[in-house]
Structures are given as C-alpha cells and as structure tokens.
Amino acid sequence: MSTNDSGAGAGKRDLEALRRGLDVLLEQEPAGPERAGTAARLHERVAQMAADGARRDDPIREVMARLGDKWSPLLLLLLAAGSFRHATLRRLVGLTSTEGRISQRMLTLRLRSLERDGLVRRDLIDTHPPGVRYTLTPLGRGLVEQFESLMAWTRQHAAEIRHARAEFARAPRRFTLAEE
C-alpha cells in the first residue's frame, strides 16, 4: 500500500475534491465583492467539518444528533439536578416534557446512548430487587453548561425570534420554478 492509499492521504484527496466541488457551486452564485470572502469562509468551515469527522459514529455527529433528539436534552437537564432511578426519571420526564410520556424502551435507549458517550453514569444500587441510579458525569455536566448557555441565548433573544416569526408569517410567499 502506498502512502497515497493511506487513510490520511485518502482524506486529503477527498477534501480537495470537496473544495473543487464547492468552487463549482460558488461559481453559480452572482459575482460580487463578497464572493471571495464567502468562498474562503466556506472552505474553512468545510475543512473544519471534515476534520471533526464525517463518519456516522464520529463524536461530533452523534453528540449534535443527541442534542437534537426529543429526549436527551431533557434527560441531561433533569440529571443535572441529581441522581435518579430509572422509574423516577421516567416519571420526571412525563411531568416535565411537553412531548408527554416516554416509553420505558425509549428511556433505556436514550440513557444507554448517553452512558456510551460518557455523559451519564449508571450505578447499581443495593436494593431488593437490585436497581440502578443514573448520574451525570463531569463530561455530562460540561455539556449541560454549554446547553444552558444556548438556552440563555434563546431567552435573551426570544422577543427577536418571535418578531421574526411574525414577519415571516405576514410575508407573502411566491414560489416559482427556477430555470436551470
């Protein structure tokens, strides 16, 4: 196997092909003084995305997906308050979620995913029958801090978001087929 066939070489070739593809797409945009800056920023962003990982199981993809799923952010926020048994967590989700109740299976799947990523720890508790308690790990606490920062930003800009939504709802929408 030559060095060009190594994973790093293949990744570099893929990035170069991606950059050429970006340039072809950007050439279709109207020319203007900002196009060169846009191209540079886009190349930088795409290179960072490629470095973060393109495989489905890369941490950045899975953590971002986890934050976008229906239950994981709520579970993380609840666990930031303390450790809970599975049954208690299920009841807490039912009480606090606008989505309603979570099935036992879905709760187990979400908790396992969070545990696999090192965000939650599952501890056996000595009861009869044996039970488990879930606790946020230091890594999970760090993620919750970031999530709380995003929630604070959302609260700070809630009026602007509502205003933009109202403007969007009032604006007429005319869709025409673009010529290719």
**CA gap 11, 49 in Å, rounded:** 12
Nearest 5 degrees, angle CA 19-CA 21-CA 23? Answer: 70
The order of strands in the sheet holding 120-125 is 84-85, 131-136, 120-125
Average the pLDDT over each of 9-18, 94-103, 137-146 and give the range with the smallest value. 9-18
Is the pLDDT assigned to residue 91 strictly greater than 70? yes
Mean pLDDT for 34-43 is: 82
Domain at 64-142: CATH code:
1.10.10.10
User: Which of 42-51, 71-80, 98-107 has the weakest average pLDDT?
Assistant: 42-51
Cβ-contact 83, 41 below 8 angstroms: no
Mean model confidence pLDDT for the chain: 85
**117-154 tens-digit pLDDT:** 999 999 998 888 888 999 999 999 999 999 899 999 99
Q: What pLDDT score does 167 carry?
A: 92
What integer pLDDT is reported at residue 128 of this predicted model? 82
Tell me phi and psi for residue 142, to 5 degrees.
Answer: -60, -40
The domain locations on the chain are 3-54, 64-142
Query: Does the reported pTM lie above 0.85?
Result: no
First to last CA, the chain: 43
pLDDT value at position 11?
57
H-helix or E-strand spanning residue 115: helix 104-116
